[in-house]
Amino acid sequence: MSIATILSRPNLILLGRLALFLGTVVILGWFSLVDVGRRFFVDPITSSGLAVSHFIINLFGGDAVREGAVLVGPRMLLEVKDECNGAEAIVLYTAAVVAHQARLVWKGIGLLLGVVAIWAVNSVRIVTLYAVAAVAPERLEFFHIYFWQTLIIIFVVALWYAWAAWTMRLASSPDNRGG
């Protein structure tokens, strides 16, 4: 491959988008570790997801008590740590949306709907992991590590792909070509 091919406009654009994606991941990842990021991003995601999960579990007859980031049941407890609260999935999705070539308003729509969808799926994840821990604790590791982590990754990629395809259809429509 020649240097001219590597430095061609399409390749430079692609490399720029990759750098934007990676830079966004690094910045948002760092932000989620510092105090202000934890207070205004990570903790609200964790707390609200746990509150909804706690409500759903008890709505369906579970006997859960919420103590901070822990759901305590009659025979078990489930702690929702940083890696399990959906924040990392939201960071990756956000970086992918930011790096994609789309109008700012479409990015805003994608971020709003995508973050809510990831948060909702992660809340379902917590509910199902609580149920597995209560009914079949020997299967918790499988569902936590293999099933749900894989499903969350697939969901984030599919969600981004659906949003990106939507923006590309909008961009190619006759009403949007001019500007």
Which of 25, 26, 165 is CA-nearest to residue 96? 25
Q: Is the pLDDT of residue 21 over 70?
A: yes
Is the model's pLDDT at 1 over the cut of 90? no
Q: In the predicted model, is pLDDT for residue 2 greater than 80?
A: no
Please state the domain extents for the chain. 8-172
Phi then psi dihedrals of residue 77, to 5 deg: -140, 150
> How many whole angstroms separate alpha carbon 128 and alpha carbon 118?
15
> How does pLDDT run across 49-80, given as a tens digit for each residue?
999 999 999 999 988 999 999 999 988 889 99
User: Rounded mean pLDDT of the chain?
Assistant: 91
What is the structure's pLDDT at 4? 57
Q: pLDDT-based confidence at 9, cuts 50/70/90?
A: low
Position 13 confidence tier, pLDDT thresholds 50, 70, 90: confident
Give the mean model confidence (pLDDT) for residues 122-130: 95
Contact predicate 107/98, CB 8 Å: yes
| Nearest in space to 90 (alpha carbons), one of 153, 30, 48 | 153
Average pLDDT of 128-134?
Answer: 93
